[in-house]
Structure 1
Amino acid sequence: MHKIDLLYAKNLITRKATAVRQELSFLLLVENLAFVKRVDVVWSGEDGQWRTLPAHFHSTIDDHKEYWLARVAFTLGPDEPLPGNVQFAVRYQTPGAEYWDNNHGENHSIQADSGIRVDQQHPLLNVEFESNLTDGQSLLPIAVAVDRSLHVKRVTVHWTRDEWKTTHKSNCRFRLNYWDAEFLSNARNPNHYGSQIWHAALKVDDAFRVRYKISCETRQRVLWDDNFGKSHAIQRRPLKVLVLNLHCRQEDNQDYKLSLIAEAIGALEVDIICLQEVAELWNNGQGDWQTNTARIINERLASPYHLVTDWSHLGFARYREGVAILSRYPIEKHAARYVSASRDPYSIHSRKVVMGQIRVPHVGLLNVFSSHLSWWDDGFPEQFEALRQWAAAEHGAQVAATLLGGDFNIKAGSSGYQLVANSHEYDDQYLSATSPQLFRRIFETRDPGWQHDLDDDHRIDYVFLRKGSNLRVTSGRTVFTEQDYGTVSDHCGYLMTFEPK
Structure 2
Amino acid sequence: MKLLTLNCHSWQEDNQFEKIKYIASVIKEGNYDVIALQEVSQLANEKTIYDNIKKDNFAFLIKKELEKIGINDYGFFWDMSHIGYDIYEEGLCIMTKLPIKESESFFISNSKNLNYWKTRKIIKIKVLYNNHYINFYSCHLGWFNDEEEPFINQFDNLKNHIEKEELTFIMGDFNNSATVRDEGYDYIIENEFLDTYNLAKFKDEGTTVEGNIAGWDKNKEDLRLDMIFSSKEIEVLYSNVIFNGKNKDIVSDHFGVEIEINI
CA distance in 2, matches of 1:332, 1:292: 23
Q: Say if 1:412 and 1:457, in contact at 8 Å, map to a contact too.
A: no
Alignment partner of 1:312 is 2:78 = no
- Distance in structure 2 (CA, Å) of the matches to 1:248 and 1:430: 26
1:297 partnered with 2:62 = yes
Counterpart in the other structure of 2:261: 498
1:431 is paired with a residue of what secondary structure?
helix
Asked if the contact 2:172/2:226 (under 8 Å) is kept, the reply is yes
Question: CA offset at residue 477 of structure 1?
Answer: 0.9
Task: Report SS of the residue matched to 1:377.
Answer: coil
- Give the TM-score taking structure 1 as reference length: 0.45
* Misfit runs of 4+, over 2 Å: 284-288
The one of 120, 123, 142 equivalent to 1:354 is 123
Q: Is the contact made by 1:426 and 1:465 (CA closer than 8 Å) also made in structure 2?
A: yes
Counterpart Cα distance in 2 of 1:290 and 1:330: 25
Q: Aligned residue for 2:110?
A: 341
CA apart distance, 1:337: 0.3
1:434 Cα deviation from its structure 2 partner: 6.0
2:114 partner SS: coil
Partner of residue 373, structure 1: 141
Q: Which residue of 2 aligns with 1:279?
A: 41
Contact 2:102 2:127 (8 Å CA) reproduced: yes
After TM superposition, list the pairs within 5 Å mapping 1:473-484 onto structure 2: 473-484=236-247
List runs of 5+ in structure 2 lacking aligned partners.
204-220
The equivalent residue for 2:2 is 240
CA distance in 2 between counterparts of 1:312 and 1:427 reads 26
What is the identity, as a one-letter code, of the residue corresponding to 1:382?
Answer: N
Q: State the Cα distance separating 1:467 from its structure 2 match.
A: 2.9
CA distance in 2: counterparts of 1:457 and 1:422, whole angstroms: 24
Task: Give the whole-Å Cα distance in 2 for the aligned partners of 1:284 and 1:343.
Answer: 23
Partners of 2:222 and 2:200 in 1: CA distance = 14
Q: Give unpaired runs (5+ residues) of structure 1.
A: 1-238, 437-455
| Cα offset, 1:248, TM superposition | 2.7
Distance 1:481 1:314, change over 3 A: same
Q: Does 1:324 align with 2:89?
A: no
Amino acid paired to 1:475: Y
What one-letter code is carried by the residue in structure 2 that aligns with 1:408?
F
- 1:453-464 aligned at under 5 Å gives the runs 458-464=223-229
Are 2:37 and 1:261 equivalent residues in the alignment? Answer: no
Q: Distance in 2 between matches of 1:457 and 1:431?
A: 18
Give yes or no for the alignment of 1:433 onto 2:200.
yes
Contact preservation (8 Å) 2:199, 2:235:
no
Summarize the Cα distance change of 1:351–1:292 in structure 2 as closer, same or farther, 3 Å threshold: same
Q: Is the 2:53–2:60 contact (alpha carbons within 8 Å) kept by the matching residues of 1? A: no
Alignment deviations for residues 78-115 of structure 1 (CA, whole Å, 9 cap, x no partner): xxxxxxxxxxxxxxxxxxxxxxxxxxxxxxxxxxxxxx
Write the distance in 2 (CA, Å) between the matches of 1:385 and 1:427: 16
Q: SS at 2:223's partner residue?
A: coil
Match of 1:409 among 175, 188, 194: 175
Name the residue aligned to 2:187: 419
**Secondary structure, aligned partner of 1:430:** helix
- Greater RCO (Cα-Cα under 8 Å, separation 6 or more): 2
Could you state the TM-score of these two structures normalised by the residue count of structure 2? 0.84
Q: How far apart, CA to CA, are the structure 1 residues paired with 2:44 and 2:8?
A: 17
In 1, Cα distance between the equivalents of 2:64 and 2:106?
25
Q: Say which one has the larger Rg.
A: 1
Match of 1:200 in 2: none
Describe the superposition over 1:343-397 as per-residue Cα deviations: whole angstroms up to 9, x where unpaired: 11121110000000011136x2110000111111222110011101111xx334x
Give the CA deviation at 1:472: 2.0
User: Percent same amino acid among aligned pairs?
Assistant: 32
1:250 equivalent in structure 2:
12
Cα deviations across residues 112-139 of structure 1 (Å, max 9, x unaligned)?
xxxxxxxxxxxxxxxxxxxxxxxxxxxx
The CA RMSD over aligned residues, in Å, is 2.0
SS in 2 for 1:291: coil
Count of residues in correspondence between the two structures: 234
Going by fraction, where is strand more abundant, 1 or 2? Answer: 1
* Preserved contact between residue 127 and residue 133 of structure 2 (Cα < 8 Å): yes
